[in-house]
Structure 1
Amino acid sequence: MKVTVCGCGRWGSFLAWYAAQQCSHTVTLYGRENSTHFQQLVQTHSNELITFPDTVQFSSNLRGAVQSAEVIVISVGAQSLRSFLQELTAAECAGKTFVLCMKGIEATTGLRLTQVVREFLPDVALAVWVGPGHVQDFLQGIPNCMVIDSDSMEVKRRVVKIFESPLIRFYFGDDLLGNEVGAAAKNVIGIAAGMLDGLNKTALKGALMSRGTREIGRLIQAMGGREITAYGLAHLGDYEATVFSRYSHNRKFGEDFVQNVHYEKLAEGVPTVTALLQLGERYAVELPICKAVDSVINGGQEPNRVLSGLFLRSIKMEF
């Protein structure tokens, strides 16, 4: 099977390694020619975590990389997806299977990522690959469980068959909307968790996880998905990797933010919180955790006061 992975960041690079090493596919890793990071990969066939097998090729020709593959895995920043898709045409992508391996919601529109893809490629086979797992853990041989979802059962079966291995146990999702929103929203909960760490309030993470899942479940249900999806692998199941792990970019961003330390890496939860608040207003759902994170990051409010107030709100029924 010929697979092209678009995006050479930490997760995209791992997916290229995984598809070649664990699934025995012929893999092309696409990156932009002007990216110094991509040029380093081309020259060394490795990054700080991964050494690529010889079956991984490198290309800065997007059209060529897409046309030569049967399966296209996309792992770019969620807010860059639209500009990335503008470089492709429906004719070039016809008959191919696209798998979105990123977590986010478009901040300017509130659209889920599959909705963005459908604007450009309405007829392609399309799936999302979400759930817990860090590159560092997988490379140590520590397995995990993840979810493949799509609006087509045939596509779900195809993608799982292509990428199944002893390292990742896949489940079929049955709520594409809920899995997309849940996967994106867990990054916002991760930022809140990092803020609690930075304020020495780590003990509140249990309450954060419980209330966070309820909050996102309500939003998913209001949008037309199933509330229980928030309790699955895409959201609650990904909390360990996001709320606690030292590898979590979003958790580390939140911790550094409240300690006035600049954080240089991508924290996808930052634009996602803006999108979630748009959706909350659109669907009339209260999102107190998202609102608290936004008020600290974008509103300049004092973190300790905001987060303490979040968990000391007026008494109400838990469920």
Structure 2
Amino acid sequence: MILVCGAGAFGTALAVTLAQNGPVTLWARDVAHAAEMRATGRNDRRLPDIALPEAITMVSGEVPGGDTPCLLAMPMQTLGGFLRDHHDALGSRPLVACCKGMDLATGLGPTGLIAQTCAQATPAILTGPSFARDIALGLPTALTLACADAAAGEALQATLTTPTLRLYRTTDTIGAELGGALKNVIAIGCGAVMGAGLGESARAALMTRGFAEMNRLAHALGAGPETLAGLSGFGDLALTCTSAQSRNYRYGESLGRGDAFDPAITVEGAATARAVLHRARALGLDMPVTAAVAALVAGELRVAQAVDMLLSRPLKEE
């Protein structure tokens, strides 16, 4: 039995694919939402037109206890509160974060937050290039599973791999977390470039320089360079910086066009840009793309001003 906490699009998609392997319990925060999903056999609020397999059991209210793996599929900025509220039920089981970003309150990534709040649990993170609908439809998808405990990571890899979802494991949780978090910041910038009509060449340049910043911070925090070159770094960056399915990219497009964006849609990169910039400055790192995105999100710069700021930087070797 696998527990998935969070009945948004991604949590539902994970439950759907994992149901190929056996029973899955899907926990929804909203009691009415859970009842609706039980009645319709779908999650039309978050993942329309996808039937829920019979192997999925919908629950709400108290999180079920136990020692089986629990996937935490919720926004990064709500993860800490969830862990505190359900600490006893989460216990010492493996906790696999399925969110991307840095916690604004603590500056920690998902596994750091799990370790701080649920000291007896085994922290892990599932991250990489993926869209919820692709996973739910059974389209081939490959992700990174990072767990500092190599044996626990190997067991989780075997449990969470499905016929259509292939997992590659690593013990580099720092690198996997940073790749997933930082690519969202760069995706906002790339969306803004395209929304402002600055062209594909400008987007490619921003992706490349953004990837250099990702590696700069990852190296400073002790991540392995091979991790950022893999699925959780470069792979996820390529997907989210080029597809309108990415919420961060669409948000950036709206900034570039000067349009309003639906506040009900979670954009992890907006909060992450601020958290990352604060961390980078504390380390004395120069991250101009991140700084420009943070200023765009805060309304302190327009896209044209951000471009001028980046293009007027001193010339240097690559």
Corresponding residue number in structure 1 for 2:110:
113
Give the Cα–Cα distance (whole angstroms) in 1 for the partners of residues 291 and 35 of structure 2.
Answer: 40
Match of 2:248 among 240, 243, 250: 250
Match of residue 134 from structure 1: 131
Q: How does 1:69-218 map to 2 (within 5 A)?
A: 70-90=68-88, 92-203=89-200, 204-218=202-216
Question: 1:218, CA displacement in angstroms?
Answer: 0.7
Q: Contact 1:217/1:229 (CA < 8 Å) preserved in 2?
A: no
Q: Once the two structures are superposed, what CA deviation does each residue of 1:157-194 show, in whole Å capped at 9, x if it has no partner?
A: 01110011231222112321111111111110110111
Determine if contact 2:191/2:251 at 8 Å carries over to the other structure.
Answer: yes
CA–CA distance in 1 between the matches of 2:29 and 2:163? Answer: 32
Across the aligned residues of Structure 1 and Structure 2, the Cα RMSD in angstroms comes to 1.7
Contact 1:150-1:173 at 8 Å conserved across structures: yes
User: d(CA) in 1 for partners of 2:256 and 2:36?
Assistant: 33
Aligned-residue sequence identity (percent) comes to 27
Gaps of 5+ in 2: none
Three-state SS of the structure 2 residue aligned to 1:161 is: helix
Please say which of residues 47-56 and 263-272 is displaced more in the overlay: 47-56
Offset, 1:104: 1.1
Tell me, in whole angstroms, the C-alpha distance in 2 between the residues paired with 1:176 and 1:136. Answer: 26
Establish whether residue 14 from structure 1 lines up as the match of residue 13 from structure 2.
yes
Aligned residue for 1:189, secondary structure, equals helix
Cα distance between partner residues in 2 of 1:88 and 1:148: 23
CA contact (8 A) 1:209 1:236 kept: no
2 CA distance for matches of 1:131 and 1:75? 14
**Is the CA contact (8 Å cut-off) linking 1:29 and 1:58 kept in structure 2?**
yes
* Conserved 8 A contact 2:194-2:256: no
TM value normalised by structure 2: 0.92
Q: Secondary structure at the match of 2:231?
A: coil
Q: Deviations over 1:25-66 (max 9, x none)?
A: 2111111235x5444323212121421011111111233x2x
Partner of 1:244, secondary structure, is coil
CA shift, 1:70, in A, is 1.0
Q: Which blocks of at least 5 consecutive residues in structure 1 are unaligned?
A: none
Cα distance between partner residues in 1 of 2:221 and 2:156: 26
Match of 1:33 in 2: 30
Tell me, in whole angstroms, the C-alpha distance in 1 between the residues paired with 2:302 and 2:208.
Answer: 24
User: Does the alignment pair 1:302 with 2:310?
Assistant: no
Q: Which moved more, 1:247-256 or 1:308-317?
A: 308-317
Contact 2:193–2:303 (Cα < 8 Å) also in 1: no
Indicate how the Cα distance of structure 1 residues 8 and 194 shifts in structure 2: closer, same or farther if over 3 A, else same.
Answer: same
Which moved further from structure 2: 123-132 or 295-304?
Answer: 295-304
Question: What one-letter code is carried by the residue in structure 2 that aligns with 1:174?
Answer: T
